[in-house]
Structure formats: C-alpha cells, structure tokens
Amino acid sequence: MKQIYLFVLTFLSVTFSLAQNLPQQEISSDIHSLTVFLNNAEITRKQTVQIPAGKSDVVFTNISSRILLDGIKVSASGDVKVYAVNIESNEVGLKSRPEYLKISKEQEAAFKKFELQKSRVSIIEEEIFYLKQNMNVGGETPASFSRIDEGQIYFRKKLEELSKQLIEEKIKQDQEGKIFQDANKLYNKKMAQLKKITSAIRLTLLSSAATSTEIELAYLVTNALWKPHYSIRATRENPEVQIEYQAQIYNDTGNDWDNKPMTLAIVDATHDITKPALQTWVLDGNKRGNFLYKSVRRKELRQSSKQEENLNDDVIELDDLSTRFELKDLHFIPSDAVPHLVDIAAYEKEAFYYTLSIPKIKNGAFLIAGIPDWESLGLIDGKASLYYNETYQGSTILKTQQINDTLDISLGLDNTYEIARKKVSQKSRKNLIGFNIKEKLTFEILVKNKKTTSATIQVKDQIPVSISKDIEVKSIELSGGKVDPLTGEVTWDLELDPGEVRKIILSMTIKYPKSKQGSMFYNNRAIYTPRYF
C-alpha cells in the first residue's frame, strides 16, 4: 500500500475539484471494520475500483454526517496518487435513495388505504342520516296501521344492516389507522437515520494509466463510544472471583454496524497531525497527575458537522493506558442511540475475603473481596454489577484509580454483625482557653457478633489531620486501634467470640483559634428531603 496521506480540508479545494468537471463514480461501500474509543469511533472502508488514466473522482456516499472535520486517512494501492480529499454534503440526493423510495411508498400506500376506509365509514354514516330523515311514512296523508307496521319493519331492518356495516367498517378503519401509524413511525425513524448519513467523501485520484486500485478509507465519527461494565461474581466456597469485562457500545452515527470486525480501545488515535509537545507536569497538592478523559470532547463537538451540544459528559480518569480489545465475536450494533452490551473478556482472580465496617459513614458491616495483582487486567473506572452466591447484591462504581496493590470490592451487607456508633455527650466538652478553643470529642462504637461461631471483623474510623500550625489534634483513647499518621485513619482488627459485644472508645482533643470556630466541621452529613408543604 502507498503511504497514507492526511489532508486539511478547505472550501477552496472543494471548489477546485468541482470546477475540473472530472469523471466520477459513486460508491456505496460497506463498513469493513471499526475501532470504538471512549469518545468516538474510527470507521474503515475498503473498495476496489477501476479508474481511468489521468484525474478522476471517486465519491464514497452514505457517510455519517457525524464525521469529524480534522482529517481522514486515505491510501490507494498500485501506482495511484491520492490528489485531493474533500467532505461534502449530499442532502439533495436523499430522496432518490432506494431506502427512501421503499419506505415512502409503503407509507403512501398505508395512508391511501386508511383514507379509503375513512370514506367508507363516512358514506354509511350519511346513509343512516338520510334514512332517519325519511322515516315519515305516507307524507302528509295519514297512513294505515298496516303501512305503519310495514314501514317500521323496513326501517328497522335497514338500520340494523347499516349499523352492522358501520361497526365492521369502523373496526377496519381502526386497523388501517394502526397500520398507517406504524408505517408513519417507521418512515420518520428511517428518515431520521438517512439524514444522519448525508455526507460524502470525494477522492480525486491521479493515475498514469487506466488501472484497478484498492482504496482504504478511515475517518472518525462522533456520537459513537463505549463504556466499561463489569459483572463480578463470588461464592463463599470458591477463593476465586470471576470478573466479566463487558462493554456498553453506543451508536448514533446513522450507519448500522452489521457484524463487522470491531476493536475497543481506551485512548483514541485522533488524526491531528500537529506535532505533539509535553506540557510541564505540575503537582500542586490539589490536582492529581492523571489524565482526565472526557467521553465527548468539546473540540470535537465544535468541529463535527451538525453535531448537537451534549452538556452531560462523563469524565473517566485514566492512567497512561493504550489497551485495545479485539472482539472475537461479530456483533450487530444498530444506529439506534441505545447502549448494547457485549462481552470483552472474562478473568478469574484469586481473592481473599474479610468483613469491614465504617459506622461513621454507613451502619452495618460489608463483605469485601480483596483482589491482588489486579492492574494486569486493564480495568478502568466503570459500573459493576455484583453477585455473591449467585444472588444479585446491587451495583457499584468500580474505582481503579487507587494506589493499593489490592482492589477492594464490596459484595454486600454482612448481616451477622450488629454495629452502632454514637457520640458520648458526658465525655465531650468545649472549653475556651485564652484565644483558643479546646474541644474534646468522644465516640463509642459497639460491635456485636451474632454468629454461633467465632469471627473476625475490621472496623475503621478516623481522627482529624491538621495541616495548619494553629490547629492541634491529639488522640486520647483508641482502644488499641492503629492510626495512620498521614490520613488519620484508625483501624481495629477484632476477633469476637459467638454472641460477644465489644466496645470501642475513640477520644480526641482538638485545639484551634477562636476565630476559626465557625469553620470547624466534623463531617456532618446533610439529608435532602422532598418538600410537599
């Protein structure tokens, strides 16, 4: 294959190409393969064409109007030179496409049948009205009783016939109306899809002789992405945790992805040919040095033709990953703006289990699966469905941006423990000492083992960490807990006998300037309740 050329698109080159009035052929090619990224997708098409000597145009039609305008990749085999590349709008030819002609004929036929049925109903209703207006037997001359009886029998029979016909025709009208509504919905849906593929890519090729050449065309489109999703399964007897790595693939490009080879990639290959440059990596203590990856980039939204603004971006934090997953199976991903779940890979990792409680944050105890050496799996932040002993426990957000070698995953509540935390008012007080306030805080944590066997549980709480020389924190009583001086996290590893209740005391003093009294908070939580009155 010849070298791949990258082009900056300009209106000048479009005008020049059209002014040449070159021989051209239109190609409605199928998608050959695609790569889906976290914020867009790269579509690859391949087509072998016959071209004449000299300059000629090859126009790829039915291209998504979500195409990005920052460049495409084109290559041609043999001694063929890619002379120019242009992206054009092809809305004029929309109604000449076979797909449009078919769906419009179906809609028109359904509409005609519906209107015809409406007219039949209207005719019968007019007959009934006319009959009722002419039910006066004998006109001005008084009629005999026999004639009246004959007239009643006639009118009753006629009204019954017409009423029966009216009911039958109204049922048919409802049926034809539903068929028309369905045809209209299908028409509108198809039209919305066709309007998304009104772009065309015009290639101007140069060849010294008439020849056959294979063209490979690749371009980026928005309104297509994938997001990770996990199913994590664990059982009490099995030390291994099953991690099913899945992807939710979203396609709203206008082109269906019909069982084509697909690759899922984390970091995209945006065809910006500007020379890359490293920026200074500044650590200021507030922002982490990780790469923030938006699922839809603002620059791309501005560059995309006819791209609506999307304000609800997800932000995924990534390490310097360039992981790619080539899907083994082929999948049909329609352009329906609905996420479709596919399998990427399945892992089995040995795990260890322990019970954790942080009653300051949440009451109760949680069963935790710790997975060592998890970084080799190429996981990124995403939603995870949790199953323990084949029972669905709920969903969580898997956070992979952590410094631990072990990935901790909560498998749900462990109801074999009863835990309560409260502030001990008798042992908590606040004193004014000169220009400072010295406050003593004491908390009591009760942990009960409801099992009939001995059990272990890890309990965590915390003491404040001062980063100001004006604020002084001292621990008074920790009931044997181990404190991390960097984070202030206090950990108790408890071994409890059956039915045992263990009391933990956490006591501390905090000394701070009186002027900072209003700014001292101890992680108070707010609960928002709906307002009805």
Q: Is the confidence at residue 343, as pLDDT, over 70?
A: yes
Domain 417-519: CATH architecture, name and number where available: Sandwich (2.60)
Give whole-number Cα distances, 471 to 41, 194, 430, 506, 514, in Å: 52, 66, 15, 19, 11
pLDDT: which is higher, 93 or 342 = 342
Could you tell me the pLDDT band of residue 398, with boundaries at 50, 70 and 90?
Answer: confident
Q: Among residues 246, 221, 241, which one has the least CA distance to residue 407? A: 241
pLDDT: which is higher, 93 or 308 = 93
Average pLDDT over residues 40-53: 94
DSSP summary character for residue 481: -
Which of 87-101, 345-359, 458-472, 493-507 holds the top average pLDDT? 493-507
Q: Is the confidence at residue 380, as pLDDT, over 90?
A: no
Residue-level pLDDT at 10: 36
Residue-level pLDDT at 505: 96
Q: CA 52, 56, 60 angle in degrees (round to 5)?
A: 115
Instruction: For helices 145-194 and 98-133, give the axis angle rounded to 10 degrees.
Output: 160
Could you tell me the pLDDT band of residue 104, with boundaries at 50, 70 and 90?
Answer: confident
Average pLDDT over residues 279-306: 44
Pairing, β 240-251 against β 199-207? unpaired
Q: CA 269, 16, 214 angle in degrees (round to 5)?
A: 50
From 63-77, 323-337, 366-380, 494-508, the region with the lowest mean pLDDT? 366-380
Q: Return the structure tokens found at 422.
A: 């409260």
| Whole-number average pLDDT of the chain | 81
Residue-level pLDDT at 450: 94
- Tokens 């209740």 map to which residue? 501
* Burial class of residue 526 (count of CB atoms within 10 Å of its CB; 0-12, 13-18, 19+): exposed
Could you tell me the pLDDT band of residue 290, with boundaries at 50, 70 and 90?
Answer: very low
Average pLDDT over residues 8-12: 36
pLDDT in tens, 218-264: 999 999 999 999 999 988 778 889 999 999 999 999 999 999 999 99
Q: Is the confidence at residue 311, as pLDDT, over 70?
A: no
- Tokens 């009208």 map to which residue? 173
Q: Kindly report the number of other CB atoms within 10 A of residue 40's CB atom.
A: 24
Sort residue 137 into left (φ over 0), alpha (ψ -120 to 50) or beta. Answer: beta
Which ranges in 269-330 belong to alpha helices (H)? 298-303
- Tokens 């990534």 map to which residue? 318
